[in-house]
Amino acid sequence: MMATSGEGFEQLTQIEVLPATPEDALPIRQLIKDSWLNTFVNERTGITKDDVEELFKKGFTPAALADMAKALAEPREGVANFVAKDANTRALIGYCRVRKMPVENLLAGLHVAPHIKNRRVGTQLWEKGQGTLDPTKDTVLWVEVNNEDAKAVYRRWGFAETDPPELFEEEPMKSGAHRTMVKMIFKAKHAPTPDLDPSRAKLTTELDKPGASMRGVPDNGQERESRLRAPKEATMPESVRRKILATVQVLADKHPDAGMLQTTLGAPLDGSVEEVVGQACYLLLNEIPKLYRDDGNPKEAGEALSKIVDRLCELGILSSDERAKIDRDSVGH
Ligand SMILES: CC(C)(COP(=O)(O)OP(=O)(O)OC[C@H]1O[C@@H](n2cnc3c(N)ncnc32)[C@H](O)[C@@H]1OP(=O)(O)O)[C@@H](O)C(=O)NCCC(=O)NCCS
């Protein structure tokens, strides 16, 4: 049994940090739920115990746990899950999920059992997780904006909020309360450029949409892991950023194995469907943001974006329904 009080932990001599296995699915979900109850149920957030019960209700069904066990057994490309265990009792006391992505690394989830916080379990988990990430890329995470304890820990590890802060609001919970999340970044020591590395980049099937739901079964790593964000530029309008992400989202869902393919703006999008998708994603995630960043040319960028979408429709890679969906998803939330 997991120790339930601080005194129990005093006797612990050793903590083991190991890759998570399918058998860890239920204890991980229980740990995350306990962590939510302890961290987010308070007057500040307005989130109630009932909200958390509702949120996790579906996460404990046999089907949901089987899904999670499968995801732990066969993690998606670039994903690593670690658990911290009491070496004596084998009780689960911490969980960490990280993911390597084309643009950046993501610290997708980190929870330490409430009674054992501040005893360096989180540090050990983060060190293991960080070891699997690409050191040449920045690492991002999202933390509840008023979760000062966690933010203090992340600052200690070298993460910092962006200036201005990048925020997004999750969907309201049952009571109407919701979390507002803020982005923190750990800058790579020698990040070459924020551009994609086309030779290694792979599309991912899930992309972040600001304001989109991070609900469902929270913090199991499935929802939050994959924020493939277009490089964020101060001058890039949010609607353009959304359109880029919405377009890449549709393409990545349909062609999850397409790789980025380097090309230049103005060159015809040509070749096999996978090649065209790879070229389009490269332009959308790499070249168009550059037009804002380097050239300060929003008009050209807007036109180039439309041309890419037109061409994808012309080639039948995007249907008119999908185009309409992209337009809907690009509208502010
Ligand atoms: C955030 C969390 C994962 C950190 O794990 P932890 O095991 O408690 O953290 P550690 O003990 O490894 O602390 C790391 C460092 O931060 C310091 N620290 C911890 N809490 C702190 C606080 N409130 N203020 C300032 N520094 C703090 C520690 O002293 C330690 O510093 P050191 O390296 O000099 O020893 C854990 O507290 C947790 O699960 N919190 C609740 C869930 C949560 O908020 N998760 C994050 C969701 S994004």
For residue 159, the CA-to-ligand 1 centroid distance in Å is 13
Out of 83, 156, 157, 183, give the residue to mutate to test ligand 1, the one with the largest number of ligand atoms within 8 Å of its CB. 156
For residues 186 and 139, the answer to whether their CB atoms sit within 8 Å is yes
Taking residue 46's Cβ as centre, other Cβ atoms within 10 Å add up to 16
What is the model's pLDDT at position 262? 80
Is residue 199 within a helix (H) or strand (E), and if so which, with residue range? none
For residues 250 and 318, the answer to whether their CB atoms sit within 8 Å is yes
For residue 122, the CA-to-ligand 1 centroid distance in Å is 6
Query: Is pLDDT at 231 greater than 80 in this prediction?
Result: no
Task: Give the pTM.
Answer: 0.66
What is the model's pLDDT at position 202? 37
Nearest CA to ligand 1 atom 36: 112
Rank 13-22, 47-56, 197-206, 249-258 by mean pLDDT and report only the highest: 47-56
Residue corresponding to tokens 């995630």: 285
Which of 67, 71, 87 lies closest to 79, judged by CA?
A: 71
- CATH 3.40.630.30 domain residues, the chain: 13-186
Does CATH number 3.30.9.10 belong to domain 13-186?
no
For residue 155, the CA-to-ligand 1 centroid distance in Å is 10
What is the model's pLDDT at position 268? 85
Nearest CA to ligand 1 atom 37: 117
Lowest mean pLDDT among 92-96, 143-147, 233-237: 233-237
More confident residue, 245 or 94: 94
- The pLDDT-based confidence of 286 (bands split at 50, 70, 90) is confident
Which atom of ligand 1 is found nearest the CA of 219? 47
Which of 233, 241, 140 lies closest to 191, judged by CA?
A: 140
More confident residue, 120 or 216: 120
Query: Across the chain, what does the average pLDDT equal?
Result: 80
What is the model's pLDDT at position 296? 64
Q: Pocket around ligand 1: residues whose beta carbon is below 6 Å from it?
A: 35, 39, 110-112, 117-123, 143, 147, 149-150, 152-153, 156
Nearest CA to ligand 1 atom 7: 122
